A and B are shown apart, each in its own frame.
Chain A
Amino acid sequence: MEEIYSEEPRTCRIAKARPETISFLMAFSRSYQVADYDNLTFERFLN
């Protein structure tokens, strides 16, 4: 019986997220703050 091999195997050709994505996440993390006040939680972004 004929064996069928796909020409392009469905493997992941990309290894990692782009450095810009990591930079964005780090910047987001640094700017994102959570503050609690009087049983309320506030989210804020610092410039």
Chain B
Amino acid sequence: MELQIEDSVLVKKYINGEEKALEVLINRHNQKILSFIYSKVLNRDVAEDIFQDTFIKVIKTLKRGSYSEEGKFLPWVMRIAHNLIIDHFRKNKRMPKFEGSEDFNIFSVIKDEKLNVEKQIIKDQIDSDLSLLIEELPDDQREVLIMRIYKDMSFKEIAENTGVSINTALGRMRYALINLRKVVQRNNIVLTN
């Protein structure tokens, strides 16, 4: 019959500098501790991290001489693991982590608003075409359209700058757009990205 050295004896040996004793303790309780952690976090990598952090605490406590012999080794380690699991969930609550799955992909909700290279080239082409079309408008309409669209001026400001009434500025803008549409339709120009 094989005799098993008690945990408390191995703990004493480890405190006295026998590193091998720790390996025996870890291997002896490996399955119980990891299964306990995994049953709570349900993620193998997280469970492994918490297992590692648990034993780092164990090592530090034992080497500092702060371990109390009152309790048993395994329940003490389980308590440390339990506290680290709570810390893990608290941290995740403050900083929720979203992971994709087969049913849900986080990138369907958040995406980079920047255009890709192809769409950017198309947009540049449209902007260029549009500026050529604007050049074809009568001077008064072109002036109002540029102030409104490119300079983002209000119709009141446009009226003041061009020396006409607001209604005239509105009318010129309206005709500028109508004429642009006519040119686009006449020449079968596609101005969509």
Contacts and interface: CB of A to CB of B under 8 A. Distances in A.
Interface of A: 10, 12, 14-18, 21-22, 24-26, 28-30, 32-34, 41, 43
Interface stretch (B49-57, B112-120, B130-138, B142-150): B49-57
Interface residues of B, number: 25
Contact of B56 (A10, A16, A17, A28): A28
9 contacts: A12-B39, A16-B34, A17-B33, A17-B34, A17-B51, A21-B48, A26-B26, A29-B59, A41-B64
B48 A18 contact: yes
Contacts, number: 58
A14 B23 contact: no
Given A22-B23, A25-B26, 11 more contacts: A12-B38, A16-B31, A17-B51, A17-B52, A21-B51, A22-B26, A25-B55, A25-B59, A29-B59, A29-B63, A30-B19
A16 to B, nearest CB: 5
A24 B51 CA distance: 12
B86 to A, nearest CB: 19
B80 to A, nearest CB: 13
Interface string B31-75: 101110011001010011001100110011001110000000000
A12 B40 CA distance: 10
Contact of A12 (B30, B35, B55, B63): B35
Chain B interface, >50% SS class? helix
Given A14-B38, A14-B47, A30-B19, A25 B52 contact: yes
Contact of A14 (B19, B27, B44, B59): B44
A17 B30 contact: yes
Contact of A32 (B38, B42, B60): B60
Contacts of A24: 52
Contacts of A22: 23, 26-27, 30
